[in-house]
Amino acid sequence: MSVYIIRPKATSLARSLKLGFRKFTPESRKAQVAEVVNFWQEDPVHQEIEDWLEDAQKDTSEVAKYPDYSGITGASVVEMPDEEAQRIREELPNVLILRDQPIELIQPQRNADTKDELTKNELWHLDAIALNIARQNGFTGTGKNITIAVLDTGIDSTHPELQGKVTESYSFNDRSKQIQLTISQDTDGHGTHVAGLICGKQVGVAPETKLIDGVLIPRGTGNLSNFVMWLDWLALRVDVNIANISAGLPTYAYEMSDVIDTLLAVGILPVCAVGNNGRNNTRTPANCRSSVSVGATNFNSKVAGFSGSGRISVNNHSYDVPSLVAPGEGVYSSVQGGGYEAWDGTSMATPIVSGVAALILEKYSKQIPVLDLIDGLLTSCQDLGHDRERQGKGLIQVTAAL
């Protein structure tokens, strides 16, 4: 028995729905989810898949479809024999059938020299994005009333930086194949470092932002099928505005690009780490066209050598990855069990961008359209003088964004 992700092959939701008018409010989410679900219900290939799976489950107990939450991705996660997968390929030629595969944490370089307190100089990442000077000039934004889903290894919500910041924690139950409420805990340590940079009391960009803790990659490894289900589940969380993702496949998976589009279509911004393997290396989902992909800079405002980058060409259309960069080398944040460590990775840069996005959403009371928020991030960047492929639009700046 194998697990497969099954969805229409050629259908493009992004081309069919007007993504530019999607918003982040709870009221907008409900209407936007309904529109996307209706889009799939009217798609003939999607209906063919539903009919085929229904008949197959009647014919054999060996075909089992995983629970469906919102239906926004247009994808079905199915466990079945390989012969059944071959049969659906033959009978439904317009269907994409992707065998499940691991999705892994984008591993940072971890400095194990733990500090109990940080100096002002060790909070350099807040200076690099001009947040400190903005605060000195009267900026009072904190990310209040904004919620970010951190799809990671879990979060140690008892850390002093994060107390009261994690509203709920969820994990995927392998037995029931469902996303279920769980206690807040970090299975690796990575998610706690990421969470601190979003909303830590001292190290965070948006200290009043709330977090939904989603354990996508327990101990650093999950499955692509679980990732699809997490996106489907997120659509029903009307409080979630941004998804922060520091995991991926070590290649470009074109099959996932339309799936990421569905997040934008329901009013959730995907902010994704591009990877730590340097030039000409990127990760999915960061390299999908709708992701805000994030590379890393160092203390000297130069792109870090490990920061991933590349040009993606699909269907006669090319774009550069990452979209922008943020501090990601030698960045201090909270670590599991208490204290702070300086880590290197695009996983450190990504939550900084998520935090800035939360500040913009707060300013506009979540009324800003999805694509305007992306433009707000990209047009706020400082040109570092690198090739576009390495820096994207440049180093994110709070003052320009706000």
Transcribe 157-170 into DSSP letters. TTSTTTTTTEEEEE
The conformational region for residue 314 under phi > 0 = left, psi -120 to 50 = alpha, else beta, is beta
Instruction: Calculate what percentage of the chain has a pLDDT beyond 90.
Output: 87
pLDDT at 402 over 90: no
Give the pTM.
Answer: 0.96
Residue 165 has pLDDT above 90, yes or no: yes
Q: How confident is the model at residue 254 (pLDDT cuts 50, 70, 90)?
A: confident
Residue 14 has pLDDT above 70, yes or no: no
Q: How far apart are CA 343 and CA 350, in angstroms?
A: 13
Query: Can you tell me whether residue 43 is helix, strand or coil?
Result: coil
Q: Which pLDDT score is estimated for 256? A: 87
Q: DSSP strand E in 126-285: where?
A: 147-152, 166-173, 178-182, 210-215, 221-223, 242-245, 247-248, 269-273
- Does the pLDDT of residue 199 top 90, yes or no? yes
Q: What is the pLDDT of residues 54-113, one digit of tens each?
A: 998 887 788 999 999 999 999 999 999 999 999 999 999 999 999 999 999 999 999 989
The stretch 245-265 carries a mean pLDDT of: 90
> For position 79, what pLDDT does the model report?
96
Which residues are part of the catalytic machinery?
152, 190, 347
Contact criterion met (CB below 8 Å) for 341 and 310: no
Res. 15 pLDDT band, cuts 50 70 90: low
Mean pLDDT of the chain: 94
Say if residues 225 and 66 touch (Cβ distance below 8 Å): yes
Q: What is the mean pLDDT of residues 346-354?
A: 98
Strand spans (E) along 274-363: 292-297, 310-314, 317-321, 324-327, 331-334, 340-344
Please, which residues bridge with residue 243 across strands? Answer: 149, 270
Q: State the average pLDDT over residues 211-219.
A: 97
How much is the pLDDT for 351?
98
> What pLDDT does residue 16 have?
72
How large is the average pLDDT for residues 220-236? 96
Q: Is the dihedral of CA 344, 350, 356, 359 positive or negative?
A: negative
Integer Cα distance of 322 and 313 in angstroms: 14
